[in-house]
Amino acid sequence: MAERQHTIAKSVSISGTGLHTGQVGTLTFHPALPNSGIKFRRIDVEGCPIVDARVENVVDTSRGTTIAKDNVKVYTIEHIMAALRGLNVDNVLIDIDCEESPILDGSSKIVISVLKESGIVEQDFDRKFLKINKKIVYTHPKVGCKLIVEPADNFSVDVKVDYNSQVLNVQEAHLNDISEFESEFAPCRTFVFFQELEMLLNYNLIKGGDLSNAIVFVEKQVSEDDLRRVASLFHKEMVSVHEGGILNNATLRFENEPARHKLLDLLGDMTLLGMPVIGKVTAYKPGHFANTEFVKRIVKEMNL
């Protein structure tokens, strides 16, 4: 029996601060008609323009996935997209009153909770799937990443990450069925290395970052002056490095939380295909640029 499309039962909202812009805004999820897909509507812009969450609208992947149409942008949508895919929501209209989705706790957990409060309802139309019929490979030699999708009877994802790090070991994560996403992957937070923080700030990013929405790994010994400077950036009296090389005593939700978060990001970016995939995905060192280029490769190879 074919699977049906789904939307949400009623409108629900969530508010917070954007990770990179620092903008405080609200997302409101509305039920949508069958076959309409996932759309963002910028209600703070004259005419309330709509941007379809499709890979052809990706315009930037600097530490997040940004979509745009006619220069109207929506930043950092990957955690939202992953939550929708994880709950098998096909059709939703998302009002946003600023440029960037709120980072919340750095995962998809809160979005999942809000969407479940609304309720997920079946629609009287069959869900469309993209059944992979050949092996498709994307590689980025400079970064060393490789993403593959190949024919299979269902959807699964294997992810491996390797940062050549002393504190963040080689990690793997495996999703065998989309039903695992809510409990095993949605709670997994974004992460960054301490040495990247000032660089990101210099690039005008992470204006909305704090120690509650990201795991910070400290690779090398840092001075008290460096710690004080970072504490000031995050409006804290002081920060410190604790066991496992994690800043400010954050506790990992899973031993391999970074790898699980990379799988979350990949799932969110793959949702930009516009339909769920039936196939086995294997990813080594995925990232937003590679993820979205991989999706474009799938579109091209599958003649979508």
What pLDDT is recorded for position 249? 53
Q: What is the helix (H) or strand (E) element at residue 294, kind and residue range?
A: helix 288-301
- pLDDT tens track, the chain, 304 positions: 589 999 999 999 999 998 878 889 999 999 999 999 999 999 999 999 999 999 999 999 987 999 999 999 999 999 999 999 999 999 999 999 999 999 999 999 999 999 999 999 999 999 999 999 999 999 998 889 999 999 999 999 999 999 988 888 899 999 999 999 999 999 999 988 877 776 766 666 565 566 677 888 888 777 788 788 777 766 677 777 776 688 765 688 999 999 999 999 999 999 999 999 999 999 999 999 999 999 999 999 999 8
Structural domains in the chain plus CATH codes = 4-127 (3.30.230.20), 191-247 (no CATH)
Q: Which residues of 99-116 are buried (b: 16+ CB within 10 A; e: fewer)?
A: bbbbbbbbbbbbbbebbe
Round to whole Å and give the CA distance between 165 and 119.
42
- Residues annotated as catalytic are 288
Report angle CA 248, 254, 258 to the nearest 5 degrees. 75
Contact 197, 211 (CB under 8 A): no
Q: Residue 23 class from Cβ within 10 Å (0-12 exposed, 13-18 middle, 19+ buried)?
A: buried
4 close to 123: Cβ distance less than 8 angstroms = yes
Task: Give dist(CA 251, CA 243) in Å, integer.
Answer: 10
